[in-house]
Structure 1
Amino acid sequence: MTGTPAGGRRLGPLLVLSGAAGLLASWVITLDEFKLLKNPRFVPGCSLNPVVSCGSVMKSDQASVFGFPNPMLGLVAYGIVVCVGMSLLVGARFPGWYWLLFWAGCLFGIGFVSWLQFESLYRIDALCLWCCLAWAATILIFWYVTSAVVRHGFLPAPGWLRTFFAEFTWVLALLHAGVVGMLVLTRWWDFWTS
């Protein structure tokens, strides 16, 4: 089966914009990582207080899981997302295996971001605003690509689920982001309210 998931013309702009947001976040964090390598006392501009402290996040072990700074992975991954989105905008059609491979990458991305969220909230005890932008972008990308592959039949699903995704993908993305927001709020409730 070959084709563009239903609503590909709508999926294209979403992928371009959310991919660009993730790309921007990855780029800024990468530049700050380089500055931090040159000067260990460098304080990133987004280090605003003890909670919103990009420097604390960048200096953590979790910031280089694969032996290099995580945002470098983001530069590649979000770049691919932007390319797929641009391709959809100009009418490209991809085979089913391509969409499944792309979805698998999105699944890895949301899993990795979820782990980073947990680590940031409960191990590092700090937030990075640019990371939060990348988290939001990844949540949108994951749910809308999942919706597209389910609705188009690349992932087997019952009819009611296809209908649900056709109407309510935005609800899943909003709920996911809301849960993360509530975890952030409750984790530092005392800080935010003092």
Structure 2
Amino acid sequence: MSIRLKLGVTVATLTFATVVLAQTPSTKPTRIRGDIVSLDGDVLKVHRRSGDTVSIELKPAVAVSAVKALQLSDIKPGSFVGTAATTGTDGKLTATEVLVFPESARGTGEGHYAWDLGPNSTMTNANVDTIVQGTSGRNLKLSYKGGNNEVTVPTNVPIVTFTPAARTDLTAGKKVFVVATPASQGTFVAQRVVVEKDGVAPPM
């Protein structure tokens, strides 16, 4: 791979990660999760988990990425991760997915905030300080600017990192996660797209 291509992949990954998992008070994108119905020209139709089908415009420059599976053992002290989790009645966090960021995307969306993956869902983007083997998985002690917490990662939780994809991967039946902005008449404009590839669906 040439230096120029490597740089391009790095920049694309960083930009994609920033949009997908960053949450700021002034930026509240719509996150669309579901199955691809069709891609007709620049219009992607997605059947959402909520049961409705939406149309999403894909502008020429929109980035398309995928994820590849990792193992729990691939998470090391010093890794920068984004983990969606649920909060138990005891206040403890249990991960529902973990994204290991490429080093070039370290610091993306750093912090702990509400997420929309399910009831009592949160997202923590943070540095892994230590890893301790627990009774129900591995416990990650995380730190981020302004705070820290601990999340338990069960052995069956999907763990992924980013990998390149293209529009040709946007085929009917594949699962997709789209970060988009609302447009007119109930349609959307995609900012970023992550699509199922090689059997690995986006868990975020």
Structure exhibiting the larger radius of gyration computed from Cα positions: 1
Compare relative contact order (CA 8 Å, sep 6+) and give the higher one, 1 or 2.
Answer: 1
Q: Same fold (TM over 0.5)?
A: no
Structure whose residues are more often strand by fraction? 2
Report the TM-score when normalising by structure 2. Answer: 0.24
Report the TM-score when normalising by structure 1. Answer: 0.25
Structure whose residues are more often helix by fraction? 1
